[in-house]
Structure 1
Amino acid sequence: MTTPDHQSPASQPTAKDRIYRSPMALVGGVLLLAVIGWLGFDALFQGHGRAPWLALAGMILIVPLVIAFTLRPAVFAGEDRLRVRNPFRVIGLPWGEVASLRSGYSNEVVAKSGRKYQLWSVPVSLRGRKKAEMRKSRAAADAGRGGVQARRSLGFGGMGGMGGFGGTGAAGLQTGPTRAESDQVMDDLRELLDRRGEAESAQGEVTVRWAYEVIAPTLAGAVLLLILLVTG
């Protein structure tokens, strides 16, 4: 009988990164690109004179910006580092270099150097926070009413007391989330920071890379549009 070989640490499967993106931004980006494509290609193939060139320059300028601010932003949270993909930059932060994760009117990560980086893909929703607080208050109120009904039922006794809970018992409690989605994401990231901040493999330097794949076509479109407007 043969025994399986022990896997070396290097060959051990690593956990996949958690990816956080804004669903509303993704939907908005797809819709905007559809409208821009419809109008732009119509001008390209049906326009006259300088209209096709202006449409082409406008699309080269606008499409990268739409992608940058809607489809591109994402946060990748791994066991060793946090990677923040913003519209024009990609920031890599080992957990050992993260000082804190702050939530206010925007969500941001603060490095130990004092630099702050906004999390574009995790926007703060004040409306979401308000809804979550309302659900939390309703759940607390339902729980309180359930306790009162239970005490009344026990006081009357008999089999009839079993129906005293009605819709306010355990089954009638508010089951919706009592934390806004973006706040829950920040809680998850803080849990990872607390758990992995001191890990040896989570140490290193903060890296920042500019997104030239977005910047270059945007500048090209702007220059082409400027030339067409000046020479027109």
Structure 2
Amino acid sequence: MTTPDPQSPVPEPAQPPVSAAPDERDQVHRSHAGIAGGILLLGVCAWFGIDASIRGEGRTPWLALASLLLAVPLIVAFTLRPAVYVNDDRLRVRNPFRLIVLPWGRVASLRSGYSNEVFSDAGTTYQLWALPVSLRARKRAARREMRATGERGVGVDVRTAGHGPGARDAFRRGGRPSATTDDGPVRGRTDSVMDDLRELHERRQGADTAQGAPVVRWAYEILAPAAAGAVLLAVLLATG
């Protein structure tokens, strides 16, 4: 009598990666101050670079070209590029040198400290460059909370100011105060956005359409020209 071989367990199918392309449903969050600063810096670079290329002599035009090739991609990376795209199925984070796409089912939590961060279920932390923290707004919220509770400014943590019970309810979606909360906590725009992201994560993390494999890609369109500019500038300086 022969003993039948035990059946081997059937491996679970791998989850396909989510699309990294923008979606028409996406809501986009950017840093307006960062965009304004980036445009200003690009204008200054263009002014000096063009002036050096036209009026410069000898190796100066080549040095100006190499410097622009290095500086412009880095300025774009840290000012104009960062963005957070949100829809009901995923969180798409465009940081200076990487693109991260996380389905809500793969997001473990979102944290606001001295920076805004998202944690994947694998334990990886990604910073949200497009949502910088406003410590000034948190300090205003801390002062109002102290006045409301009768405290005198002992041990207030600006990282959590405005996150107490009722703080979220005091604001409408998008961070605008309601008509009856003139004396309530003053939240920064990015803190209100993070509250919305947490609510969306709690609501959608179990949805079938919010599952899939995370996508992490390097921004070679930024890294390649910056590296070329650095190499060209190093060669010119070394041979000068």
Scaled by the length of structure 2, the TM-score of the pair is 0.74
Change (3 A) 1:172 1:90: closer
Deviations 1:181-203 (A, max 9, x none): 11111001001101111000000
Q: Find the counterpart in structure 1 of residue 66 from structure 2.
A: 57
Measured in 2, the distance between the counterparts of 1:15 and 1:214 equals: 24
Shift of residue 42 of structure 1? Answer: 0.4
Aligned: 1:187 with 2:228: no
Structure 2 residue runs without a partner (length 5+): 1-22, 151-178
Q: Which residue of 96, 103, 110 corresponds with 1:87? A: 96
Measured in 1, the distance between the counterparts of 2:39 and 2:185 equals: 28
Matched to 1:33, the amino acid is L
Q: Which residue of 204, 221, 229 corresponds with 2:229? A: 221
User: What CA RMSD, in Å, does the superposition of the two structures yield over aligned residues?
Assistant: 2.3
Shift of residue 132 of structure 1? Answer: 3.3
Change (3 A) 1:130 1:24: same
Measured in 1, the distance between the counterparts of 2:35 and 2:148 equals: 32
Scaled by the length of structure 1, the TM-score of the pair is 0.77
Deviations 1:71-115 (A, max 9, x none): 000000111000000000000000000000011111100000000
Shift of residue 174 of structure 1? Answer: 2.6
Q: Find the counterpart in structure 1 of residue 111 from structure 2.
A: 102
Shift of residue 131 of structure 1? Answer: 2.3
CA contact (8 A) 2:45 2:68 kept: yes
Q: How does 1:1-232 map to 2 (within 5 A)?
A: 16-134=25-143, 174=182, 178-232=186-240
Structure number with greater Rg is 1
Measured in 1, the distance between the counterparts of 2:180 and 2:89 equals: 42
Would you say how many aligned residue pairs link Structure 1 and Structure 2? 191
Give the structure with the larger helix fraction.
1
Shift of residue 178 of structure 1? Answer: 2.1
Matched to 1:201, the amino acid is T
Shift of residue 130 of structure 1? Answer: 1.2
